[in-house]
Amino acid sequence: MKVNSTLLSVAFGLSGCLTGAIFSYTPLNAQVSDQVGDAFFIENVRIIIGDGNVIENGFLEIENGLIETVSAGALENAEAKISIDGQGKTIMPALIDGHSHLGYQGRSSWGSQNYGKQNLIDNLEQYAYYGFSAVFSAGSDAPNIINSVENARQDGEFIGAQVLFAAGMAPPGQGPNDQFLSHALAVEDEVSETILYGLENPEQARKQVRAASANGIKFIKIWVDDRGGSQRKLSPPIYEAVIEEAENLGLKVFVHQQFASDMPGLLSAGAHGFLHGRIGQDFDSDIANQTSVSGAFIIPNWGLAELRREAIGEDSFLSDIFTNEVMQPLTAGNDSRQNALRRDSVSEAERVASFLGLIDAGVDIVLGTDAGAVPDHPFGYTGHRELEIYVRLGMTPMQAIVAGTNNAARHLGLEFKGELKPGFSADIILLEQNPLEDIRNTRSIERVFLAGVEVDRSRLKDKWKP
């Protein structure tokens, strides 16, 4: 039996914050999904829209899981309405992770043995806990299993981030990093589903794209990388065929590429976006301009290399939801955050220069983390850390938030996510502190609503760290 947790918590969990009396409460019937909530307001609150604009003091009306009204000023006759007082607080759209690999990271281990419905739900609940409304899983999923999870979410069996996923394509038997590859192949064996589509030549590659499309898959991830010589690299004639066939069928193609020098050819072929920036070294302003003109996005993915050297187990924003045994190896032997920041000023200056070049060229930056591709790169947590890196390297906090909301939604085709505007899904983070003053304030999460229903963060925390 599913009850409307939003109204329950508004009515009974917030006594100190409520401005007026609560009148009637109508429970929803058991069949309704999390797409449906009832009506409530958040008032006296700073509203970060997600498109670069902010309302310093306003209110938001939520009805049936959607945003009904967004307005500056005070809510009229507020006492008569079910309302959350956001005095001194900020709301922003829930975040979206444009590059993840769901299913392999469990609560205390990583690998193919974890891949299945229950662990996928746990991963998506973790995203929701950290204020994410959607996640793109990049080419490592068993379609029937992950579709069953998304269907369960839509049926209201759990509250978590919406999942989008891609068919993975590379030369036969290749694709992900060597460790990940063996685990993805093990899942394929175990569940008898195609995860990785092998591409032999242009004609056969077109057939593979048609096969993925016939299976209802909307995205293709291609790997253009020889993994330092241990794998074969996808050749231009093959990826050109993949992208053209995908375009004909209305599918988007996102790319893992090892070098910036591969980007011009991929852009000319019509690639829709890059899941790793590669914006140091051989990246130049010509590539930035070509990316901007073509409308493709770039996910910089800075944190994947950086956070693995940092003692993230010391960070209570993470250790709050993991047992001490799991956190201990993420602490020992690594740099503290302060030391990690001081390291290597030359390459830091290079990163700043190339990132600013990309921003100046007008390239759409999309938040993405590669969480789950390797052990101990945790879902959700890494997204907040990535925003922090964007600001350290030269973005304004507002630009970083747009990368994680509106930009991500647009490029993933999530039409009604990523902004707090009428008609959009009521995917909202209520923050105690203002992230426009310090991007690390995206961590000051007080409440999360997905499609107007509150994520029960304390229940999740208790489940994960009793």
H helix runs in 307-424, sequence order:
316-319, 324-327, 337-342, 345-360, 381-392, 397-404, 406-411
CB of 405 to Zn ion, least distance (A): 21
Q: Nearer to Zn ion by C-beta: 111 or 394?
A: 111
CB of 165 to Zn ion, least distance (A): 12
Q: Which is nearer to Zn ion, 102 or 138 (CB)?
A: 138
Q: How far is the CB of 257 from Zn ion (least distance, A)?
A: 12
Q: 137: which 2 tokens?
A: 């899983």
For the chain, report the end-to-end CA distance as a whole number of angstroms. 24
Q: What distances in angstroms separate CA 441 from CA 15, 153, 266, 316, one per listed residue? A: 25, 29, 37, 14
Q: What is the smallest separation between the CB atom of 276 and Zn ion, expressed in angstroms? A: 7
Q: How far is the CB of 368 from Zn ion (least distance, A)?
A: 8
Task: List, in sequence order, every residue forming a beta bridge with 134; answer none if it has no partner.
Answer: 96, 162
163 close to 150: Cβ distance less than 8 angstroms:
yes
Nearer to Zn ion, 152 or 374 (CB): 374
User: Which residue, 124 or 311, has its beta carbon nearer to Zn ion?
Assistant: 124
Q: How far is the CB of 14 from Zn ion (least distance, A)?
A: 39
Shortest reach from residue 99's CB to Zn ion, in Å: 6
The residue whose two tokens read 């066939």 is 245
Shortest reach from residue 429's CB to Zn ion, in Å: 25
* Minimal distance, residue 59 CB to Zn ion, in Å: 40
Query: Using only C-alpha atoms, what is the Rg of the chain?
Result: 22
Q: What three-state secondary structure class fits 165? A: strand
- Yes or no: say if 209 and 246 are a contact pair by the CB < 8 Å rule: yes
d(CA 268, CA 127): 34
Both tokens of 236, joined, read 């231009």
Beta-carbon contacts of residue 455 (< 8 Å; ≥ 6 apart):
128, 129, 159, 447, 448, 449
Residue closer to Zn ion by CB (options 138, 224) is 138
Are the C-beta atoms of 466 and 125 separated by less than 8 Å? no
Q: E strand or H helix at 236, and its extent? A: helix 236-249
Taking the least distance from each CB to Zn ion, the nearer of 246 and 373 is 373
Q: Which is nearer to Zn ion, 272 or 443 (CB)?
A: 272
Kindly list the residues in this chain that would bind Zn ion in the complex (CB under 5 A): 138, 370, 373
Whose CA is closest to 404, among 454, 443, 369, 447?
A: 369
Residue 84 vs 373, nearer CB to Zn ion: 373
User: Quick check: helix, strand or coil at residue 179?
Assistant: helix
Residue 82 or 371 with smaller CB distance to Zn ion: 371
Among 134, 48, 46, 40, CA closest to 408: 134
> Residue 340: helix, strand or coil by DSSP?
helix
- Shortest reach from residue 340's CB to Zn ion, in Å: 22
Comparing CB distances to Zn ion, the nearer of 82 and 373 is 373
